[in-house]
Chains A and B, each alone.
Chain A
Amino acid sequence: MMTEISLNILDVAENSTKAGATLVEIGVMVSHLSDTLTVTIKDNGCGMDEEQVRKVTDPFYTTRTTRKVGLGVPFFKQAAEATGGSFEITSKKGVGTYVKAVFVLSSIDRMPLGDICLTMQNLIIYHPETDFLYTYAFDSKSFVLDTREFREILGEDIPFNSPEIAAYIMDYLKENTLEVDGGAAI
């Protein structure tokens, strides 16, 4: 299983990019008021039909041909539900998929959020053809990273995975995260 919530996000969002999504919206919302850590992943990829959606939380279902198990979504679901939280996945063929996992923030069974900045940077630099809209909210504060804004500034000739830009993206994520959560251990 995964050791961090952020690794679950990385894994599930990888599926969004494989589904051909041009835009993946990821939200991480920490609320002490409702004692929740909510993760949302929404994509405009190829989506799934009703039967696939029903089966996707079954660890013995996968569309891959390289192995017979599909643990990504079941891991994520189990991690959220183990805290007393909830998990939902909805999808429509040709429209996209939406995943929402709610973790009880104070639960002793909640795994740490982990290195969410690294997760986001990984997704962005290794999927240059996909746009990401990332929102991080910590109680009343929040920030947004939109790769479409980056793309507009950089144009076509400077790739996200060039060392300077990759470093900028990491700094952008880290500095804004720190500003929003004050370096809280989540």
Chain B
Amino acid sequence: MILLQALAFILDGQNWVSGPRILYQLGVTLSISAISVLIVVVIATPIGIAIGHTGRGRGVAILLSNVTRALPTLGLLSILIVLIGVNATPVAIVLVLLGIPPMLAGVYAGIESVNRSTIDAARAMGMTEGQIIGRVEIPLAAPLIVGGLRATTLQIVATTTVASAFAFGGFGLYLIKGLNTADYVQMAAGAILVTALCLLIDGLLAVVQRLVAPRGVPRDGADSASPKPRARASRSRATATVSPLQEGMQS
């Protein structure tokens, strides 16, 4: 059984420090992912807040996410590597490009989902626009913002696997090396490691998503099908996953 042998490969403590050096490859995967996520957050958060707060520029964001969905990761990587060279820069550029749309969508959908009358109430109390954003909209939008961060992080970690195809380190290296040398145990071990890492990160961020939900606000469950009627955000989260494409490509 290849799967059992792969598990044995992973559980062998020796493999973590010498030979395949799992610990080192984990570090490579995590560090390039962390840097890319950080860049995405710095770029996408302010833009997402601006779109959500003003309600403008949504079309551009939807168009961007449609285009990146259609662009093959492998193609983007190969072009940038041919142009820039085999190093971390082209990989980081691709990771950031693919990571921006989900983060942007999470932020603007979150800000947009804040009840219009809550914002009006804040304004009536004399809050400045900055205070409304910082003290009302962001806290209320926090679960959706973290949801965007979660999607972005997963997208980025998963894409590092493909980046390994171009001799860049990370768990994907086991997949590619295993394939090329017909070492299917190593290949399966790589697949299990990267899958486990993704599930772990997803689980952790799901917990964070629950923790950042402001107290006293009814929790909008991850799969609530019936959004409360709102003045501004006329769409539920559930349909938001589908409708951007529909909207963006209609006409």
Chains A and B are bound partners: no
A interface residues (Cβ-Cβ under 8 A, vs B): none
B interface residues (Cβ-Cβ under 8 A, vs A): none
